[in-house]
Structure 1
């Protein structure tokens, strides 16, 4: 509070002249009397003048002492703290009611790192746009409440339809509690293993369940539920490498059921698994398709295109790992058909649970 200005005192009255004299007639001297006209009023007696003492040198005029208002004691006025974006997403998740995402039971992100990792990914997916993050998070919670993806890990799928189609592999330190930068999690889609396109992709709901089960298995290996290091907009080691192998697949006669399955998979994954893709490799792609991808790099935003790597020869995949991972010697860990020295997918990888189709009665 500002201190009021000091009030300046009015100056004292100016000192009178040194002496004021009044001439008084001498009482012993008598002047001749003169007639006073009748109309003239009798003279009034003049009192002797009072001597005014000569002024003495005095101190300067006194001034009033400024009155300073007493400063009121500081009082802490409570200020309502604005919620952070993470706190707002957490409040939304609590209000929704579905308790889980990617196998993690959500809790207060201020103290629960796995929840912080998940909610931050939704913000990162939209460069911090809170409104879009909230919308997608709500849709994810709705979808997971209905789909129950974690339960699909226990479901057994038709071996004739899905055997050999998808695998999860972990290279490096497979312990989910270890530093996430010491391992890489892969999902592999081997489309050339499909025996009958209509059988595998024809039942769209069944195919989506199988594909979601493969993704949820990879998330288990990623170990977000055991995370101890929060992520930021620029640091996020909790991501998956994907390989799509198109060996023996014709790009010139893609069936309607395959197109429908691809479209629905892309839609579901974009909405419900944001910021989980590290890089995607399209291998054994025909040469002309590789040229198209190279041409696209001239026009598509680098942030998007840098995650996609088409190559006509799958054996070149291993050399790509030199710049794609901090795991030392990752390229050599890959299967031989992809340029490495490791075991084949059917022995090193995990598939969603499979069972033989029941015999017809």
Structure 2
């Protein structure tokens, strides 16, 4: 999930070393091992060839088992109804895809469903990147947010999936008007995020001209939606219009909108029932947040692996 400006050519010899260590790959896995992709894994592991290879192997294994490329809109449409995550119809000044996130719009209790929806959004955002871009921008709107919207279990798995399987994809994360109660939470979570990721996180407040400049530097304010201080009143979320866009994307990139992955056979209710087995543990962790005892909850988080 972290990011830097490293170009594939700067890692050319190491890219070849990684390919040698990977050995022969199935055609499907090879699709995710372009020079640019390997360069991202190298950057995520500070140029360490063996660590980057191990990380990439784990992603290829995950992709084989989880099949993120087989998720289709119809499978995750329910998760998308409130616009809690959606791809904006504009880019930043660098041509990067923009994902808008609204934590207060959480509408389901299915842990598996929420992660699967996130993966679909990441895959879709990547497919919509221009040829010259590897990264995206997150715009996180905290309007209406309170601590009840935080799930430690989902947060932990989100961080794991993004950092381990989508390295170097984040160009910037804008936290827009986070409430004061969020700041201590972020300070406690920060040690569990990669340093490069933390450097991309910017706190922006609508009543602070200095922090608003962060948005002005990144976006054409005529295109940015009004909720973030922009002038585009037509860029908000409409589920019907967004559903149409996503179906068109499925057709464009995959040639059909049929859900083929086995896990897609689970209905949302089935997914929520299966998640209920672990829900009492999640509730205990979340209760610690609300009681101000988050440190003990965070002991269960996996700290980032040390970089060589």
Equivalenced residue count is 233
Query: Which of 137, 151, 169 is the aligned partner of 1:241?
Result: 137
Q: Distance in 1 between matches of 2:166 and 2:207?
A: 26
Q: 1:131 aligns with which of 23, 42, 50?
A: 50
Match of 1:335 among 225, 231, 234: 225
RMSD: 3.8
Q: In the alignment, what sits opposite 2:98? A: 186
Alignment partners' CA distance in 1, 2:186 and 2:162: 22
Please give the per-residue CA displacement for 1:72-98, whole angstroms capped at 9, x wherever unaligned. Answer: xxxxxxxxxxx9321122234453436
SS in 2 for 1:282: strand
Other structure's SS at 1:183 match? coil
Instruction: State the SS of the aligned residue for 1:333.
Output: coil
Task: Tell me if 1:259 matches 2:152.
Answer: yes
Aligned mates of 2:85, 2:268 — CA distance in 1? 22
**Is the 2:42–2:48 contact (alpha carbons within 8 Å) kept by the matching residues of 1?**
yes
Alpha-carbon distance in 2 for matches of 1:169, 1:314: 24
* SS of residue paired to 2:60: helix
Q: Distance in 1 between matches of 2:152 and 2:188?
A: 23
1:155, 1:247 → 2: CA distance? 28
Match of 1:46 in 2: none
Distance 1:145 1:126 in 2: 22
Q: Which has the higher contact order (CA 8 A, sep 6+)?
A: 2
Corresponding residue of 1:345: 236
Q: Spell out the pairing of 1:222-233 with structure 2 (5 A cutoff).
A: 222-223=129-130, 227=131
| Aligned position for 1:55 | none
* Pairing 1:30-45 to 2, within 5 Å after superposition: none
Compare the two structures and name the one with the higher helix fraction. Answer: 2
- Rate the CA distance shift 1:283–1:152 in 2: closer, same or farther, 3 A: same
Aligned 1:8-157 pairs, distance under 5 A: 84-97=13-26, 99-100=28-29, 105-106=31-32, 115-157=34-76
**Unaligned regions of 5+ residues in structure 2, if any?**
1-11, 248-256, 258-266, 270-308
Q: Which has the larger radius of gyration?
A: 1
Match of 1:169 among 63, 76, 88: 88
Q: 1:283 to 1:156 in 2, by over 3 A?
A: same
Tell me: CA distance 1:172–1:188, structure 2 relative to 1, closer, same or farther (3 Å). Answer: closer
Q: In structure 1, how many angstroms separate the alpha carbons of the residues matched to 2:188 and 2:113?
A: 36
Tell me the TM-score normalised to structure 1 length: 0.55
Contact 1:278 1:307 in 2 (8 A): yes
Alignment match of 1:320 (pick from 214, 218, 221): 214
Q: Tell me if the contact between 1:290 and 1:311 (Cα under 8 Å) persists in the aligned partners.
A: no
Deviations 1:42-63 (A, max 9, x none): xxxxxxxxxxxxxxxxxxxxxx
Q: Distance in 2 between matches of 1:162 and 1:186?
A: 18
Distance 1:136 1:184 in 2: 25
CA distance in 1, matches of 2:115, 2:27: 21
3-state SS of the aligned residue for 2:171?
A: strand
- Deviation for aligned residue 1:289: 3.9
Q: 1:153 to 1:315 in 2, by over 3 A?
A: farther
Structure 1 CA distance, aligned partners of 2:74 and 2:188? 42
Report the CA distance shift for 1:315/1:222 in structure 2 as closer, same or farther (over 3 A).
Answer: farther
Residues 206 and 229 in structure 2, CA contact (< 8 A), matched pair in contact too: no
- On the 8 A contact 2:139/2:173 being kept in 1, the answer is yes
Deviation of 1:243 after TM superposition, in Å, equals: 1.6
2:169 aligned partner: 276
Partner residue of 1:44?
none
